[in-house]
Chains A and B, each alone.
Chain A
């Protein structure tokens, strides 16, 4: 049983709005960079970066961050998380980082991401941009930029599919058999 939450056009509009919000809140793009969280946030960060460049005519640094090694549930999970690439080809010290992820849920992934960033350098500040905020926070984490707020029950899952993966842009809400394992990726 699934329900479409956002289609290709919805997604594009949301990203455009978020790009404008990011530029507005940071009063421009100086010392700004985007880092996408593996895997869901990477393509989103790329698109946001492209849109920001279109608007401000300036290229901002773009990176990707793998958080597998910083997860708090390594001993509990059924399946060990896959370790992916962390490519941040610039110094993060004193930069304003906008972390990008697809779905904000318990907030634990963001906590992991922040710990990883702290080991990489000392950013001036960290902001958070997510496509979907589905509620059920377990840590005091909030997003600065949200594509869409979707109240969900624990029995549901939110799936984000993107063109870069070979399918059409789509956000779907699915009812799952059991309470969703929050560690699922």
Chain B
């Protein structure tokens, strides 16, 4: 049983809840293998996608998950909505709830927005990414993928490479993987890795070659090109030369290493195409697993009594 009606972040989940979501996701992955990829479990419920930041893949993934559970889905994307006319966040949430939303899936540029909505609405609020705080379903699907491929998470050497400071995916992954017992390494330039993360029990590497030795799982993060202007690193060229994943660097990891990426990729900058399309990459499976994990989350949240 999940303890809260909302999924706001990995920080708010116990290890038992994380494992429940992952175990249940396995059952949903079975559904996705069939011809008729639909179950009537949440028939009649309404899901609203409230995306204040543009996103195709996450929104589509949630939309599919919601539809496969037989809920009705409404997409509320900001440029076409009353929010542009100046309607406040709470008002938008209350309106959506008055329309009968059972699930509100929200992505917003400000950290803490899902928490604000969850406090003020009775619907189940699912965080699809808030500012630089968390992206919990991404971490859950990453954990599911690792578990599927490696059979376990505890004790694995997992490296996350890139702009950790601004990545909500990285943060959620750090919380999730450390909670499940993995040894997490962060690799990237010093300006993009906050020193105080050491307190979370992770190791910091600024030299990629050192960081990759003996790694079981590699999670590559998208480098955001806008960061260049703000003094975090001088150029994408220099970034790529020092922290881009090449075949040579990959060979330093374990032979059966798996390479992951939340997408979308900057091919040639943080990762070369040969690896992205190569045998060690599980990037596309992450996408499939994403739907199963999101179905699992929605199913389990619907069972929380209010």
Interface on A for B, CB 8 Å cutoff? 66, 68-71, 74, 79-80, 82-87, 115-116, 119-121
State whether B34 touches A66 (Cβ < 8 A): no
Contact B34 A83 (CB under 8 A): no
**In the complex, chain B residues whose CB is within 8 Å of the CB of A69:** 27, 31, 39-41, 299
A121 nearest CB across to chain B (Å): 7
Q: A83-B27, A86-B27, A120-B36 are in contact. List 18 more A-B contacts (CB 8 A).
A: A69-B39, A69-B299, A74-B41, A74-B302, A79-B303, A80-B300, A80-B302, A82-B24, A83-B296, A83-B299, A85-B26, A85-B27, A86-B30, A86-B31, A87-B30, A119-B36, A120-B34, A120-B35
Q: Which residues of B contact A115 (CB under 8 A)?
A: 40
Report 13 cross-chain contacts, Cβ distance below 8 Å, ordered by A residue: A68-B27, A69-B40, A70-B41, A74-B303, A79-B1, A80-B299, A80-B302, A83-B28, A83-B296, A83-B299, A84-B27, A85-B27, A119-B36
Please, how many residues of chain B have a CB less than 8 angstroms from a CB on the other chain? 20
* Contact among A66, A80, A86, A121 with B303 in the assembled complex (CB-CB below 8 Å): A80
Contacts of B1 in A (CB 8 A): 79-80
CA distance A119 to B34 in the complex (A): 8
**Closest 5 pairs (CB-CB, A-B):** A80-B303, A83-B27, A69-B39, A69-B41, A119-B36
The answer to whether A66 touches B27, judged by C-beta atoms less than 8 angstroms apart, is yes
Distance in Å: Cβ of B16 to nearest Cβ of chain A: 13
Minimum CB–CB distance from A71 to chain B (whole Å) comes to 8
Q: Does B38 contact A (CB under 8 A)?
A: yes
Residues of B contacting A119 in the complex (Cβ-Cβ under 8 angstroms): 34, 36, 38-39
Residue of B1, B30, B31 ringed by the most chain A CB atoms within 10 A: B30
Closest A residue, CB atoms, query B69: A69
**What B residues does A80 contact at CB under 8 A?**
1, 299-300, 302-303
In the complex, A67 Cα to B145 Cα: how many Å?
Answer: 24
Task: Convert B1-31 into 0s and 1s, putting 1 for each residue whose CB lies closer than 8 angstroms to a CB of A.
Answer: 1000000000000000000000010111011
Cα of A121 to Cα of B33 in the assembled complex, Å: 12
Docked complex Cα distance between A120 and B302 (Å): 24
Residues of B contacting A82 in the complex (Cβ-Cβ under 8 angstroms): 24
Residue of A nearest to B2 (CB): A80
Closest to A112 in B: B40
Please name all residues of chain A whose beta carbon is closer than 8 Å to the beta carbon of B30 when the two chains form the complex.
66, 85-87
List the A residue with the shortest CB-CB distance to B27: A83
Instruction: State the Cβ distance, A38 to closest chain B Cβ, in Å.
Output: 9
Tell me how far the C-beta of A177 lies from the nearest C-beta in chain B, rounded to whole angstroms: 22
A162 CB → nearest B CB, Å: 21
Nearest to B43 among chain A residues (CB) is: A74
CB distance from B97 to the nearest CB of A (A): 19
A120–B34 CA distance with the chains assembled, in angstroms: 6
A70-B31 contact in complex given A83-B296, A83-B299, C-beta closer than 8 Å: no
Between B26, B31, B296, B302, the greatest number of chain A beta carbons within 10 A of the residue's beta carbon is seen for B31
With a cutoff of 8 Å between Cβ atoms, the chain A residues found around residue B36 in the complex are 119-120
Assembly CA distance A80 to B26 (angstroms): 17
Residues of A within 8 A of B41 (CB): 68-71, 74
- Complex CA–CA separation, A116 to B299 (angstroms): 17
Identity of the chain A residue whose Cβ is nearest the Cβ of B296 in the assembled complex? A83
Interface members, chain B 23-75 (any A CB < 8 Å)? 24, 26-28, 30-31, 34-36, 38-42
Contacts of B303 in A (CB 8 A): 74, 79-80
Closest to A65 in B: B30
Q: Within 8 Å CB of A68, what residues of B?
A: 27, 41
**B29 and chain A: residue at smallest CB distance:** A85
A99 to B40: give the CA distance in the assembly, Å.
Answer: 20
Roughly how many angstroms separate A85 CA and B302 CA in the complex, as a whole number? Answer: 20
Which chain A residues lie closer than 8 Å to B39 at the CB level? Answer: 69-70, 116, 119
**Taking CB as reference atom, which chain B residue is nearest A74?**
B41
CA distance A70 to B34 in the complex (A): 15
Of A83, A86, A121, the contact of B24 (CB 8 Å cutoff): A83
